[in-house]
Structure 1
Amino acid sequence: MITQDSHPEYKYPTASLLWSLALPGFGQFYNGQILLGTILLFTELLANILSGLNLSIFETFHGNFKNSHDVMNYQWGMFYPSIWGFSMWQAYNYAIAGNQQIKGKRSKAYLTGFFFGGVVGMNFGIYWHVSFLYSLKLFHFLESPICLGLILGIVCAFLGHWFEKTLHRILLAHRVETAEKGSNFN
Structure 2
Amino acid sequence: MEARKLHEYKSPIAALLWSVMMCGFGQFYNEQYIFGTVLLLCEGMVNVLSKLNVSILHSFHGKFQMAHDVVSYQWGIFYPSIYGFSMWQAYNKAIIHNYQRKGKEPPKKTDLTGFCFGLVIGMNIGVACHPHFLADVRFFEVFISPVFNGLLLGVIGGITGHLIEKYIKG
- Whole-Å separation in 2 of the counterparts to 1:146 and 1:139: 14
Map of 1:80 onto structure 2: 79
The farther-off stretch of 75-84 and 106-115 is 106-115
Query: Residue 30 of structure 2 contacts residue 93 of structure 2 at CA under 8 Å; is this kept in 1?
Result: yes
Q: CA deviation at 1:67?
A: 0.4
- Whole-Å separation in 1 of the counterparts to 2:133 and 2:96: 46
Q: CA deviation at 1:104?
A: 3.1
% of aligned pairs identical?
52
- Whole-Å separation in 2 of the counterparts to 1:78 and 1:132: 17
Q: CA deviation at 1:15?
A: 1.2
Unaligned runs of 5+ in 2: none
Query: Residue 24 of structure 1 contacts residue 41 of structure 1 at CA under 8 Å; is this kept in 2?
Result: yes
Q: CA deviation at 1:129?
A: 2.7
- Amino acid in the other structure paired with 1:70: D
Map of 1:33 onto structure 2: 32
- Whole-Å separation in 1 of the counterparts to 2:38 and 2:133: 40
Q: Give secondary structure in 2 for the equivalent of 1:128.
A: helix
Q: CA deviation at 1:23?
A: 0.6
Task: Flag as ranges the 4+ runs of structure 1 deviating above 6 A.
Answer: none
- Whole-Å separation in 1 of the counterparts to 2:152 and 2:110: 25
Q: CA deviation at 1:103?
A: 2.4
Structure-to-structure mapping, 1:41-60, within 5 angstroms:
41-60=40-59
- Amino acid in the other structure paired with 2:17: L
Query: Residue 21 of structure 1 contacts residue 84 of structure 1 at CA under 8 Å; is this kept in 2?
Result: yes
- Give the TM-score taking structure 1 as reference length: 0.84
Q: CA RMSD in A?
A: 1.9
Query: Residue 133 of structure 2 contacts residue 144 of structure 2 at CA under 8 Å; is this kept in 1?
Result: no
Query: Residue 130 of structure 2 contacts residue 150 of structure 2 at CA under 8 Å; is this kept in 1?
Result: no
- Whole-Å separation in 2 of the counterparts to 1:138 and 1:104: 56
The farther-off stretch of 128-137 and 148-157 is 128-137
Post-superposition CA distance 1:53-110 (Å, at most 9, x none): 0000000000000000000100100000000110011011101111122223322311
Q: CA deviation at 1:16?
A: 1.1
- Whole-Å separation in 2 of the counterparts to 1:42 and 1:99: 27
- Whole-Å separation in 2 of the counterparts to 1:115 and 1:87: 9
Structure-to-structure mapping, 1:1-186, within 5 angstroms:
7-105=6-104, 106-107=106-107, 108-131=109-132, 133-169=134-170
- Give the TM-score taking structure 2 as reference length: 0.92
